[in-house]
Structure 1
Amino acid sequence: MRLERMAMSVLQPGFDGTEPPDWLRRALGDGLGGVVLFARNLPDQRGAADLVAAIRAESPDVVVAVDEEGGSVTRLEARTGSSWPGNHALGVADDTAVTEHVARRIGRLLGTTGISLDYAPVADVNANPDNPVIGVRSFGADPELVARHTAAWVDGLQGAGVAACAKHFPGHGDTVADSHVELPTVHASPEVLTERDLRPFRAAVDAGVRAVMVGHLLVPALDDVPATLSRTVTTGLLRGILGFQGLIVTDAIEMRAVAAHWEPEEIAVRALSVGADAVCAGISSPDGSSVYALRDAIVAAVRDGRLPEERLAEAAGRVQDLVGWHAAQAPARRAAAAEPDDDLGLTAAAAALHVVGEPRLDEAPLVVEIVARPHQAADSGTPPGVARALAELLPGTRAITVTVGDPLPDLGDDRPLVVVVQDAPRHAWIREVLHRALAARPDAIVVETGLPGPPSGAGYVATHGNSLASARAAARRLAHRPPVPEKESPP
């Protein structure tokens, strides 16, 4: 039973529903060491707090993890869009004090909910503009900028008493494939990896980051197996050269980058044997049997000699170290929770806007949002939100959503036209639809919510990110409102 509980303690599975299912309650009683929450589990912040409380009622020392990056990847605010600009917007503004403050506010959000581990920040250097899954989730393409903002983000989040997890080691930025779908390859020399991709992770380690997530990435300069399954990457590079002593977490093992080649049980055993401490399994079977299958495979690997028991005990010990750290941070969480609210999200998003021309709306517009299918990391189909933000300021705003294959709607309306795009430089079909829209309405204003390309339209606004905060900042700029709402003077 000791070995079975130890094997259970290194797992971090996801589950369906907004309440702990019976199998999860049983697993927590059997020593399950962690859970990971997704948008499907979190209807709102109050529901999130109730769910975490119910989980902790079964096991007070469980690690509760979530992907809350701000920007386009949010779990607690997936239905509305994040109140905080994402990494790229923060990198464009390039004020590390603001980045630290934003991360602290995200830490406050998570801390008051009871979440102990945030799978953030993204520390990848977005070296390839065609990257389909990183993009605006990265602070930028300059390694030094990404390094200093990664450290600031870690300081802010952990200063609020929630553990940070820098990802996706050794760097997912220079890829043209999404590891949710296939195995990406990073074609870079050891020298480039050291000077470019590893710098932000070194900065995170120096800042005291409590966890690092290893990505499902093939890096031929380092090894001929994915980084998650590579002793050279996990133990040799991250532990040995970078000196990281905290919790090493795998990216989700159901991702096709590895799941297309190995069974989940084999992935878990291999990852643990080369140095991972926690195995993230975002999708579990409805009855929880997949989680118990992982446990049993780990136990069998120890008994067969494939996985040394000392290695498993070391991994379980690091999970407990994180639990102990989180418990000791209760005063920091109380202090963060007591801080007054402000307009930080909106002001930070406004600082990242890039405006060309003098775009101005004096009446409610027609907004055409050209929306690509979101990558799987986003966990939400929330549209860019510019139309909703404009409707808050200009009642009567009309919105039309265009997705791939949809015909261009009639743009003959007399009202002003705003065309919202996301990552137009990366999607030929979006560029084509935008070209036809501007041919029909040269007076249109264009808002780019992803990585921007050449400005277009009669006026142009680049938000450098897709969040509720960025959408509202753009809307206020177009409607010629102050960057933040003016406070009413008390009577």
Structure 2
Amino acid sequence: MPLGPVCVDLAGTELTDAERQRLLHPQVGGVILFSRNFRSVAQLCALTREIHQLRSPRLIIAVDHEGGRVQRFRDGFTRLPPMAELGKLWNDDRAAARALAARTGWVLAAELRASGVDFSFAPVLDLDYGVSTVIGNRAFHAHPHAVSELGQYLMQGMRQAGMNACGKHFPGHGHVVLDSHHALPVDDRPLSEIHGADLQPFRRLIEHGLAAVMPAHVIYAKVDERPAGFSPRWLQDILRGQLGFQGAIISDALDMAGAAFAGNTIEERAKAAFEAGCDLVLATNRPEEAERLLQRLDWQISPVSLSRLARLHGEPNPLQWDDLVHDLDFQSARREVAALAGEGDISRWGPDVGEA
């Protein structure tokens, strides 16, 4: 059974019978995990193993695991720094920042791959304009060149562990104050200004083989009246046409307030995302709506989309946890990354962004 164009979520740390049936639906292509799905490394490995055994080709297992406030799995995992910490280092020592970005990407992805996770929605390529609380220190830096370099090296480290990367939130969420989880932000800048700044990191990583992009639920009013994730202008003309992107386009979550522009129902939102150019949509946090979408969705995934999604599977035969424990270079990288994260001060992290 080929992969479908919908990514769904789970309620807890083990699959229910209803969830097993849902994951067997032909319109399902992936599963996104959250903190509620994690109790321990052993439990996570068992969960991902069962999900992968359900179908062939196996479902894609994804997670938002960036570092800082957005790290879904913590106990037993290396505490990852907010990406802004790499930006601070870049200000003082660019070579050291590039090297540590690669080490961070390696640690991030190696621990996920050892746990059976295929793919993380990282890195954040938004610029930090100092106004967006939802982005904030999730961004590497305010300068496009710094974000481009650090994002590229983080992606390089992820590849070392057998994981591809997803740049978000195209074309840039950092210039708006409102959080698209709770509202629909509007960015009034002209396209020329966005091209000259926010698009540069996306361009750089696309040139180096970026596998996926997640568009923002933000309206860029001088470019299109529709949010980027529902805009053929942004996804087809600019992202694929001007930037030459050939990878997968994955919608941000359809339950977010910023997605309401596309319709009141999840079916309307999914259809709008597909028609705009998305290959995969996230139907999360509302299982009854996800079930309804699967039963009513009339969308045939194209062979091109299937080939794009296939790149999101993790490379086979990753290092396992026992291997990582005995790999001296990896253990050194873990210490370097944890030191940058300020491992001792747990209070500074706060709640995850985007959790239900």
Change (3 A) 1:292 1:352: closer
Give the secondary-structure state (helix, strand or coil) at the position aligned to 1:140. Answer: coil
The answer for the alignment partner of 1:362 in structure 2 is none
- After TM superposition, the score normalised by the length of structure 2 is 0.87
The answer for the alignment partner of 2:17 in structure 1 is 22
Instruction: Spell out, residue by residue over 1:141-196, the C-alpha distance to the aligned partner (whole angstroms, 9 max, x if none).
Output: 11110010011111111221012111111111111000100011122221211111
Which of 4, 7, 10 pairs up with 1:12? 7
Give the CA deviation at 1:297: 3.6
Matched, 1:281 2:275: no
Give the secondary-structure state (helix, strand or coil) at the position aligned to 2:186. Answer: coil
- Any stretches of 5+ residues in structure 1 without a counterpart? 303-308, 354-366, 381-491
Instruction: Spell out, residue by residue over 1:251-285, the C-alpha distance to the aligned partner (whole angstroms, 9 max, x if none).
Output: 01100111366221111011111110000122132
Instruction: Spell out, residue by residue over 1:344-381, the C-alpha distance to the aligned partner (whole angstroms, 9 max, x if none).
Output: 3553465688xxxxxxxxxxxxx9x7x8974743x39x
Q: How far apart, CA to CA, are the structure 1 residues paired with 2:77 and 2:109?
A: 17
Give the secondary-structure state (helix, strand or coil) at the position aligned to 2:70. Answer: coil
The answer for the alignment partner of 1:436 in structure 2 is none
The answer for the alignment partner of 1:85 in structure 2 is 81
Aligned length: 341
Instruction: Spell out, residue by residue over 1:87-141, the C-alpha distance to the aligned partner (whole angstroms, 9 max, x if none).
Output: 00011112111101111011110110111111011010112x1211001100011
State the structure with more CA Rg.
1
Matched, 1:74 2:64: no
Q: How far apart, CA to CA, are the structure 2 residues paired with 1:144 and 1:372?
A: 27
Q: Which amino acid aligns with 2:333?
A: L
The answer for the alignment partner of 1:272 in structure 2 is 274
Q: Which amino acid aligns with 1:74?
A: Q
Q: How far apart, CA to CA, are the structure 2 residues paired with 1:64 and 1:227?
A: 25
Give the CA deviation at 1:290: 2.6
Matched, 1:330 2:316: yes
CA contact (8 A) 2:267 2:293 kept: yes
Q: How far apart, CA to CA, are the structure 2 residues paired with 1:321 and 1:333?
A: 19
RMSD: 2.7
Change (3 A) 1:114 1:332: closer
Give the CA deviation at 1:320: 3.2
Matched, 1:318 2:308: yes
CA contact (8 A) 1:205 1:244 kept: yes
- After TM superposition, the score normalised by the length of structure 1 is 0.64
The answer for the alignment partner of 1:344 in structure 2 is 333
Matched, 1:233 2:234: yes
Instruction: Tell me the percent identity.
Output: 30
Give the secondary-structure state (helix, strand or coil) at the position aligned to 1:250. Answer: strand
- Any stretches of 5+ residues in structure 2 without a counterpart? 91-96
Matched, 1:144 2:133: no
Instruction: Spell out, residue by residue over 1:194-253, the C-alpha distance to the aligned partner (whole angstroms, 9 max, x if none).
Output: 111001111121221211111111111221001111001111111111111111100011
Change (3 A) 1:29 1:135: same
CA contact (8 A) 1:11 1:281 kept: yes
Alignment of 1:145-160 (within 5 A): 145-160=146-161
Change (3 A) 1:134 1:282: same
The answer for the alignment partner of 2:60 in structure 1 is 63
Give the CA deviation at 1:342: 2.6
The answer for the alignment partner of 1:44 in structure 2 is 40
Instruction: Spell out, residue by residue over 1:399-429, the C-alpha distance to the aligned partner (whole angstroms, 9 max, x if none).
Output: xxxxxxxxxxxxxxxxxxxxxxxxxxxxxxx
Give the CA deviation at 1:331: 5.2
The answer for the alignment partner of 1:430 in structure 2 is none
Higher relative contact order (CA 8 A, sep 6+): 2
Change (3 A) 1:160 1:80: closer
Change (3 A) 1:227 1:269: same
Alignment of 1:43-442 (within 5 A): 43-60=39-56, 61-77=58-74, 83-94=79-90, 95-127=97-129, 129-259=130-260, 262=263, 263-285=265-287, 289-299=288-298, 302=299, 309=300, 312-323=302-313, 326=314, 329-330=315-316, 333=319, 337=324, 339-340=327-328, 341-348=330-337, 350=339, 374=351, 376-377=353-354, 379=355
Q: Which amino acid aligns with 1:115?
A: V
Instruction: Spell out, residue by residue over 1:62-108, the C-alpha distance to the aligned partner (whole angstroms, 9 max, x if none).
Output: 1000011012210111x689522120001111211110111101111
